[in-house]
Amino acid sequence: MVASTGRPSNIDMVTGLTAGLDEVVQFLTEMLEIAARHNVRLAIENCPVMGNIAVSPYMYELLFEKIQDRGLGWAYDPSHLAFQFCDVYAPLEDFKERIYHVHAKDTYIDQQLLAKMGTTAEQHWWHYCLPGKGVVDWTKFLEVLRGSGYDEVVSIEHEDSNWEKTPELVTEGILLSKKHLEHSMKQHKSQ
C-alpha cells in the first residue's frame, strides 16, 4: 500500500522535519502491525507537498534506522527529489531493498525564474511534467533502477498540467510518457 507518513501539525520547514520523526515512527509502527496482520507492505511516497516527513534520502535513512521492519519501504518518485535538488539516481542503489514501488513522473525547472525567485518565495519555478519533459534522464534512471535489482511495476503518474485540459490530452500525455519510457528502456538495453 502506498501512503504518506503524515506530519505532526507543529512540524514544518522552519522547525525541521526531523523534529517530527519520533511521532511518525510511533504512528508507522502501529500501522505496520495492522499491515502485517493483512499481509500488506507499506510504501511511503516521498512527496513533500502532502504532509510528509519522508521527503529525501536523508529522511528515509533516519526513518529506516528507527524502523528496521522490512514491511516498510519507499514508493519512489524521482519528481519529488528533483525539485528539492536531491540526487534521483543514487538512492535507487542505496535503498534497493526498500524500494517497493516506482512512479514515472518528471519535474520541469525554469532556471531563469528560479534565479529570480529563489527556492522559498514562491514555488512557480518548477512543475510536474511527463517523463522526458523535465530534468530526469530516464535512460540512466531505468538503468540504475534495473541494475539495483528492481523488477516490479513502474507506474506512470500523470500530473502534467499541460496535458490535463481534456480527456484526449490526458490520454495523449499517458501515451507520450509510455513511448518515452519504452525508448529509454531500449536505449538502456543497447548500451
pLDDT value, residue 191? 63
Q: Do residues 75 and 103 touch, judged by C-beta distance below 8 A?
A: yes
Domain ranges of the chain: 1-76, 103-191
pLDDT at 13: 76
Compute φ and ψ for 127, nearest 5 degrees: -155, 155
Which amino acid is present at 175? Answer: L
Region 127-140 average pLDDT: 97
The Cα 31–Cα 42 span in angstroms is 8
Confidence class for position 10, pLDDT limits 50, 70, 90: confident
Q: Quick: pLDDT tens for 54-112.
A: 999 999 999 999 999 999 999 999 999 999 999 999 999 999 999 999 999 999 999 99
